Amino acid sequence: MQRRRLLTTAMVTTALALAGCAGQDADEPAATPASSAAGFPVTVGAVTLEARPEKIVSLSPTATEMLFAIGAGPQVTAVDDQSSYPADAPKSDLSGFKPNAEAIAAKDPDLVVVSNDTENIVAQLGKLSIPAFVAPAATTLEDTYAQLGDLGALTGHRAEAEKTGADMATRIDEIVKSVPARSRPLSYFYELGPDLYSATSKTFIGSIFAKFGMTNVADAADASGSFGGYPQLTQEAVVKANPDMIFLADSKCCQQSAATVTARSGWSTVTAVEKGQIYALDDDIASRWGPRTPDLVQAVADAVGKVPA
C-alpha cells in the first residue's frame, strides 16, 4: 500500500507536470489570533481566500502533517484515509487517490488541500465554489519549505510555517554535519517494494541521500527521466550494481526486512547483504516530504555512521 501511495503520488505528479482547543466547547467558534486574521484576503497560486479557512479538508498525508505542524490543526475538520499522522488528525473515509467531489462537499469545507489533481477534482470542487489547493510531491527540500509557506499563508499561520521550515533546515544541517566525510562514496539501493521499484537521485528521496555524498545505483535505470525518477530494477541489475547499503521503505507495507532480503536468491554476493548493511525505514516518514523529514535524515545518518570508513 505504501509503495502504491508513493508511486501514485509521484506518477500523477509527473503526469501533470512530471493540541487543539482542549476544554473548549465544540459548538463555540475558536478564537482567532490577531496575527492569524491578518493577511486576508490572500492569494496563493490559483487559490484566493477572502478569510481564514476554519473547515479544512486535507486529502494528502503530507499536507495533513504540515497543517498540524504549523498550528493549523484545529482548523482541519477531515483528512483522508491515508493520513496516519498525527494521531489526533480527524481521519475519515475520504480518498486522496480517487477523490469524490460530493463526499468532500458533504464535509462543508472552506478549503481543500490535495497533492494532485486526480479526477479533475479541482475543477469539480470549483463548480461547487469550494477552493482547492494543490500541494504536489516535492523534489527538493526547498520545495518542502515553499509548500509550508504556501499553507501558512492560506491558513493564517505564516510565522509558524516559516519557523517550522527554518527548524527543519537547521536540524537537517546539523545531522548531515555530524556524519564524518568518507574517502569513498557509499553506494545504495533504495527499495520502494519487493518488486524492486526504486527512486533515483532526481527525486526528493534522492536529494536526501545526496546530502551524504552517496551514489544511487538506480540512476542508470532511469537516465533519461522517462520513468519520472521511479524505475523498476531487475534482480540481476541490483546484484550487478552491488550496492554498499540497502534501505527498505517497504518494511511496514510489505514486511520486508534484512532477513527477507538476505534470503533472496542470488543476493548473497551483494556487499550490503554480505556485511549486514540493510536498514529498514519507516514507510510513512520515508514517503512524505513534510515536517518529519529530519527523522528520515537522522535514520540515514545513523545507518551511514555504522559503516566503517
Query: pLDDT tens across 94-112, in order?
Result: 999 999 999 999 999 999 9
- Determine how β-strand 42-44 pairs with β-strand 47-49: antiparallel
The amino acid occupying position 221 is A
Give the residue carrying C-alpha cell 477552493: 131
Q: What is the pLDDT of residue 3?
A: 45
Q: Which helix (H) or strand (E) holds 246?
A: strand 245-248
Burial of 105 (0-12, 13-18, 19+ CB in 10 A): middle
pLDDT one-digit tens code per residue, 201-254:
999 999 999 999 999 999 999 999 999 999 999 999 999 999 999 999 999 999
| Lowest mean pLDDT, pick from 23-37, 121-135, 173-187 | 23-37
Q: What is the pLDDT of residue 306?
A: 94
| Lowest mean pLDDT, pick from 4-8, 12-16, 45-49, 233-237 | 12-16
Rounded CA-CA distance 278/244 in Å is 9
Domains, the chain, in order of start with CATH, read 42-167 (3.40.50.1980), 182-306 (3.40.50.1980)
DSSP state of 120: G
Q: What is the pLDDT of residue 37?
A: 62
Q: Tell me the mean pLDDT in the region 153-159.
A: 97
**H helices, E strands: number in the chain:** 13, 10
Per-residue b or e along 119-156, where b marks 16 or more CB atoms closer than 10 Å to that residue's CB: eebbebbeeeebbbbbbbbbbebebbbebbbbbbbbbb
